[in-house]
Amino acid sequence: MTLKLGIPKGSLQDATIQLFARAGFNMYVSSRSYFPSIDDPEIECMLIRAQEMARYVSDGVLDAGLTGLDWVAEHEAGDGRTGVIESMVDLIYAKQSFGKVRWVLAAPEDSDIRSPKDCEGKTIATELVRVTKAYFAKQHINVKVEFSWGATEVKPPMLADAIVEVTETGSSLRANRLRIVDTVMESNTQLIANRTALADAWKRTKIENVALLLRAAIEAQGRVGLMLNVRRQDVDNILSLLPALQRPTISSLADEEWVAVNTIIEERTVRDLIPRLKAAGGEGIVEYPLNKIVL
């Protein structure tokens, strides 16, 4: 038995393959194949556009797949069946960062559009058509929503009055002289699964194990381990300097006057922390990388 797993093709592809590598799965993608190889004989991978992933998981073509909450919402707002997809784990990463993305309503900087209500009777271009229609309908605002095949930022003001577009930092919108009016929705990558697949004990266990390892890789991102030796009399001073995931681990050494301290910290704090630990009496300070943190 194998698990049929969808990998998002496109902007998320490289970040997803890197995430799987940190989780312990080595994946190899050929430019001429939509079926990546993976060093787990119990998994069969297929490259699918994130926009289509929810449909294929819902229809049972795939047992599970990675896609954004936005595309699940777009699928379920249309003709897609609801109640057949289950989110297994939130995986907060995007193509440029480890954070959520936003779908925003944006208009030209010199536009009269200052709020969603100002879009009454206007044309909105977006790839997220169904969610956008629902967003305006909920506010009783009549707009014309047009599907955009791409390069959505260049369409206002000639081809559309405003757009609903995804952004991580807003830099592309600013570069095209667009101003964010409102946030339509936030989204992040999720591992989703078909509930029929989850009814199979073997597949459920396999999916849950993959989810566990992917989540552990996300938790380890940007963190490092730090261990050092310290005299017992200096332990309180050292501990006062150490932030920790839960609390530092303290272990006895052969020399009863000394203990080993082991902790997990944000990597960005290391350069400031190590000199302070040394000054407080820490010795044998070692920083080491982390691949996974299982909470």
123-126 vs 144-147, strand pairing mode: parallel
Both structure tokens of 186: 């936030």
pLDDT along the chain (295 residues), means of 10: 94 90 93 90 95 94 95 84 83 68 94 94 96 96 93 92 91 91 94 96 97 95 94 93 79 94 93 95 95 91
Q: What is the pLDDT of residues 229-251, one digit of tens each?
A: 999 999 999 999 987 656 889 99
Q: How many CB atoms lie within 10 A of CB 82?
A: 10
Distance CA 114, CA 107 (A): 8
The pairing of beta strand 258-266 with beta strand 223-231: antiparallel
Residue type, 185: M
What DSSP assignment string belongs to 37-94? EES-TTEEEEEEEHHHHHHHHHTTSSSEEEEEHHHHHHHHTTTSPSSSEEEEEEE---
d(CA 10, CA 34): 12
Alpha helix (H) residue ranges in the chain? 13-22, 50-58, 69-76, 129-138, 171-175, 195-198, 201-220, 235-239, 270-279
The DSSP secondary-structure symbol of 288 reads: E
Residues 258, 231 contacting (CB under 8 angstroms)? yes
Query: Which residues is 265 bridged to in the sheet?
Result: 224
Which of 217, 191, 218, 189 has the alpha carbon at shortest distance from 204? 191
Count how many Cα atoms sit within 13 Å of the Cα of residue 171 in the half-sphere of its side chain.
3
What 3-state DSSP class applies to 267? helix
Contacts of 157 (CB under 8 A, 6+ apart): 108, 111
Hey, what are 267's tokens?
């990597």
